[in-house]
Structure 1
Amino acid sequence: MGFRIRNNSAASLAYKSYSKAQADLEKNIQRLASGLRINSAADDISGAAMVTRMDNQIRGLQEASKNAKGASGLLKMAESGLSEINGILSRLRELAVQAASDQLTTDDRRNINLEFEQLTGEVGRIARFVEYNDIKLLNGDFTANALNQAARDRLADDLVGFPSTAGGGVSDIKLTGALPGTYAFSVVTEGGVNKLRITLDGAATDEVNLPVTPDEGETAKLTFSTLGIVVEINQNFGQTIAGNALNGSQFTVDPGSGGTVQIGIDDTADSRLQFSIMDATAVGLNIDNLDVGSVANARSAMSQLDGAISLVSDERGKLGSVQNRLEFTMSNLANMIQAIDSSRSAIRDVDFAKEMTDMARNQILVQSSSSILAQANKINQSVLGLLN
């Protein structure tokens, strides 16, 4: 009759120790190979959740930093264009000063005026073609205020609501610093002179003398300097005046946002930076109708150019201040990314010194428990040999 030992507690204990040491050793190897203490949520449930949130924060901050860098590049491009325009305006003023003197011959004045016209056209060309990532920067698209979209739609249909039976007469309305509000047209006669008046919100007014109606296919500009409005009229304008069709007609200027840069990671006002860029076209600077063909015109052009130079200089200063703010924004974002990354590393990354020590310990435990398990099995065989 043979004997059999039904239980070997020593071997069971040795096997349990071996299994645990082997599992711990596998974890040590996985962590050292990946460099991460948390390779799955099971390794640290709360830690894994924190790491996920930090990952999202870092990615959002990195994109915000890219946005800030892109906006800084955009503003630098705009400022560069304005710098060129500023130089042209200075040259235009030099020509105006030169032409404001009576010692010039007709040919001299004509040549000066020719250069004046060419440079004025170059201002418009630069304003139309300066762009960043196919985005026009100086043509008025980034101005703070904009003509109400409904008014724009009516311009295409019945010209800002003017009765079509009157033939319209207004081709376009350009903003050159107009404030938000409702603008109303009216036609008045003072001293036998017809004038077109614009009133802002029933209070501030500006008016210009009505010119001769343009010929067919041509346009003329009426500049309301005080209110920052330029009205372009066409050959139908005379019919409009005759019927007083303009009286009471209105258009609205809405507050605009200019450009917006997302410099944060949430949908709050503090996470967005808004900026605007002036309309630097010849119309926007109110220099499109200038000439120096006569002494009087040259002297008038000098004051207009002084105003344009002041506008451009102020705009360059404003853009420079926004660029400086963006530099600090990018620095702050970099610091935040570094701080969060450091915190994430403390939670997620492995401590190599500790893990190497634990791995050496677990290797010893695996080897020793394996040896003890073999010895425990031999003890059972020895006892059975004696009994048999």
Structure 2
Amino acid sequence: MQAINYNEMTGLNLTVRKTTESTLQESIERLSSGLRINGAKDDAAGQAIANRMRSNINADTVVSRGLDDAISMAQTADGSLNTIGELLIRAKGLAIQSGNSTLSDSDRQSIQDEYQSILNNIQSISETTEIFGSYPLATDSPELPPELIGNVPPLNVKFPVQGTNYSFSSGIVSLAYIPAGSKNITITIDSLGLDDDIQLFTRDGKHLAGTPINGTDPDYTWSSRGITDSAKATSRVLSEANGFENGATYDDSQLIEGGASWALDGSETLDYNGMNISYSGDGDRYEPGAAFNDGSNGSNRIERLKIDNVTEDLVVMVVGSGSFTSNLTWGDLPEPTITPTVLPKQSRPWEVVTSASFGDDVESLTMQTTPADLKSLGLTNTDLLSMPTASNAMGVLDRALDKVSSYRAQYGAFINRFESTKSVLAQQNVATQAAKSRIEDADYAMETSKMAKAQILQQGQDAVLKVANQSAENILSLLRS
């Protein structure tokens, strides 16, 4: 009979026991976590594939939430546009009513009051429709306030439409400033009955064109306002509020006041700082006898100032004690503006992510702006106070309604597309989760069987080890005996 080597049997049993314990621990871990892959050692390739799938699942979930937000935004904008459309239809009815020649002026005024209320409501809806901090119906090109020099606005504020006559009051307050960069500027004034004279200054106080304050024949328009010398001009005219620099001093050394005879397109010219300036002259100063410089106009009541290329900001003033009409033409007229502390409400395009799968380029869709304010709809200068303006308003209202309808169609298309994309993402999500589950989820039946097998083996090994230990004790007992 072969002798039992106790040490060999014990060592072999311990090795097998460790393997069994490892198998048992693995089965318990998989059953408790529900995952077949609990670390890279379990299945490195499977873990990499499952991670990519998990990334896609999470990305699709986030994309779907973004699509929900985009749908909400489109529905909000569409609801407001529906209200604006109804208001436009009502306004069109008022325009048709005002176009009826049987109405009196008071009737049309009542219609105009309701029409203006509708326009105000449309503007309010466009500015207050808000979602997620965005204003989808606000203007996409807000008008920034003009940059003032002192209290003086740039020319484009006083003359918004080229070649159109506007009425003003004369005095010793600046009319406007000509911004540097302007080209081919022509300012024409009609001083009507009383004499009013156009004056051109630099911001440091140089009097470039106009009528004189000093000399043997100071102009009546200045003296009638109490400006009789350079000191008074400096203290009363060259103020910061009038657009002049701090410390500006009156200087008429460059002044052109007109040539030998009056000429509308320039009786005298001046080249100054890269600018060619021409001035017609004041017609009142060309009148004979007692009519000379008496503050009233004879046959020439028109004055004109022309500048070819404005290289620095210039101040324009029309001095007098009456009123005048004026128009402006230009080749190029910058519009200096400032950015306010509180920015105006503005609609901006929306970028909506529609796909962000692992390893692929992000796909997105741009929702363009849909401004529905009065300016964007072309309604700012409409009224129903007469038959011609009512007729014009009808066409404008039709075009505005067409624009609103096109906006609604755009939002409807977006909503349908986003809902379709969401449906595709949902199906894709379910399929990806199922595939990921097949890779990394534990097989409970198999793992339970493995755990039971490992437990049985472990119990058997414990029994064998116990028997082996008893045999050694028996031998030792015999030896002691």
- TM-score, normalised via structure 2 length: 0.58
Given that 1:257 and 1:274 are in contact with CA atoms closer than 8 Å, whether structure 2 keeps it comes out as no
Q: 1:44-77 CA distances to partner (integer Å, 9 max, x unpaired)?
A: 2222222332222222221111111111111111
Offset of 1:245 from its aligned partner?
Answer: 6.5
With over 3 angstroms needed to count, the CA separation of the structure-2 counterparts of 1:292 and 1:135, relative to structure 1, is same
Q: Is 1:322 the counterpart of 2:414 in the alignment?
A: yes
Report the counterpart of residue 354 of structure 2 in structure 1: 263
With over 3 angstroms needed to count, the CA separation of the structure-2 counterparts of 1:268 and 1:236, relative to structure 1, is farther
- In structure 2, how many angstroms separate the alpha carbons of the residues matched to 1:100 and 1:68? 47
Q: 1:85-142 CA distances to partner (integer Å, 9 max, x unpaired)?
A: 111000000100111101222222111110000001111000000010221111124x
Matches within 5 A, 1:132-281: 132-141=131-140, 157=147, 168-171=154-157, 196=162, 210-213=163-166, 236=176, 242=187, 243=306, 246-249=330-333, 258-265=349-356, 271-281=363-373
- In structure 2, how many angstroms separate the alpha carbons of the residues matched to 1:313 and 1:32? 60
Offset of 1:23 from its aligned partner?
Answer: 1.8
> Which consecutive unaligned segments of at least 5 residues does structure 2 have?
170-174, 180-184, 188-305, 307-327, 336-346
Q: Percent identity?
A: 27
Aligned partner of 1:286 among 366, 378, 384: 378
Q: 1:294-346 CA distances to partner (integer Å, 9 max, x unpaired)?
A: 11111111011010001110110011101111111111222222222222211
What is the one-letter code of the residue matched to 1:369? Q
Offset of 1:385 from its aligned partner?
Answer: 6.1
Partner secondary structure for residue 376 of structure 2:
coil
Given that 1:8 and 1:380 are in contact with CA atoms closer than 8 Å, whether structure 2 keeps it comes out as no
- In structure 2, how many angstroms separate the alpha carbons of the residues matched to 1:63 and 1:315? 27
With over 3 angstroms needed to count, the CA separation of the structure-2 counterparts of 1:286 and 1:236, relative to structure 1, is farther
Report the counterpart of residue 19 of structure 2 in structure 1: 20
- In structure 1, how many angstroms separate the alpha carbons of the residues matched to 2:73 and 2:157? 32
With over 3 angstroms needed to count, the CA separation of the structure-2 counterparts of 1:276 and 1:101, relative to structure 1, is same
Report the counterpart of residue 369 of structure 1 in structure 2: 461
Partner secondary structure for residue 87 of structure 1:
helix
Report the counterpart of residue 223 of structure 1 in structure 2: none
- In structure 1, how many angstroms separate the alpha carbons of the residues matched to 2:419 and 2:463? 65
What is the one-letter code of the residue matched to 1:246? W
- In structure 1, how many angstroms separate the alpha carbons of the residues matched to 2:424 and 2:394? 45
- In structure 1, how many angstroms separate the alpha carbons of the residues matched to 2:155 and 2:361? 42
What is the one-letter code of the residue matched to 1:137? P
Report the counterpart of residue 163 of structure 1 in structure 2: none
Q: How many residues align?
A: 316
What is the one-letter code of the residue matched to 1:212? N
Given that 2:356 and 2:362 are in contact with CA atoms closer than 8 Å, whether structure 1 keeps it comes out as no
- In structure 1, how many angstroms separate the alpha carbons of the residues matched to 2:459 and 2:349? 71
- In structure 2, how many angstroms separate the alpha carbons of the residues matched to 1:29 and 1:215? 93
What is the one-letter code of the residue matched to 1:30? E
- In structure 1, how many angstroms separate the alpha carbons of the residues matched to 2:428 and 2:157? 52
With over 3 angstroms needed to count, the CA separation of the structure-2 counterparts of 1:38 and 1:11, relative to structure 1, is same
Report the counterpart of residue 431 of structure 2 in structure 1: 339
What is the one-letter code of the residue matched to 1:22? E
> Which consecutive unaligned segments of at least 5 residues does structure 1 have?
160-165, 173-186, 188-194, 197-209, 217-234
- In structure 2, how many angstroms separate the alpha carbons of the residues matched to 1:237 and 1:271? 50
- In structure 2, how many angstroms separate the alpha carbons of the residues matched to 1:65 and 1:31? 32
What is the one-letter code of the residue matched to 1:92? A
- In structure 2, how many angstroms separate the alpha carbons of the residues matched to 1:83 and 1:328? 24
Root-mean-square deviation over aligned CA pairs:
3.5
Report the counterpart of residue 405 of structure 2 in structure 1: 313
Aligned partner of 1:303 among 385, 388, 395: 395
Given that 1:97 and 1:299 are in contact with CA atoms closer than 8 Å, whether structure 2 keeps it comes out as yes
- In structure 2, how many angstroms separate the alpha carbons of the residues matched to 1:81 and 1:335? 33
**Greater mean deviation of Cα atoms: 344-353 or 122-131:** 344-353
Report the counterpart of residue 190 of structure 1 in structure 2: none
Which structure carries more helix by proportion? 1
Larger Rg: 2
Partner secondary structure for residue 325 of structure 1:
helix
With over 3 angstroms needed to count, the CA separation of the structure-2 counterparts of 1:375 and 1:56, relative to structure 1, is same
Offset of 1:287 from its aligned partner?
Answer: 0.7
Report the counterpart of residue 80 of structure 1 in structure 2: 79
Given that 2:31 and 2:444 are in contact with CA atoms closer than 8 Å, whether structure 1 keeps it comes out as yes
Given that 2:382 and 2:389 are in contact with CA atoms closer than 8 Å, whether structure 1 keeps it comes out as yes
Given that 1:292 and 1:301 are in contact with CA atoms closer than 8 Å, whether structure 2 keeps it comes out as yes
What is the one-letter code of the residue matched to 1:114? D
- In structure 2, how many angstroms separate the alpha carbons of the residues matched to 1:238 and 1:211? 17
With over 3 angstroms needed to count, the CA separation of the structure-2 counterparts of 1:44 and 1:171, relative to structure 1, is farther
Q: Is 1:378 the counterpart of 2:473 in the alignment?
A: no
Given that 2:123 and 2:374 are in contact with CA atoms closer than 8 Å, whether structure 1 keeps it comes out as yes
Offset of 1:78 from its aligned partner?
Answer: 0.9
Report the counterpart of residue 66 of structure 1 in structure 2: 65
Offset of 1:258 from its aligned partner?
Answer: 1.9
Partner secondary structure for residue 374 of structure 2:
coil
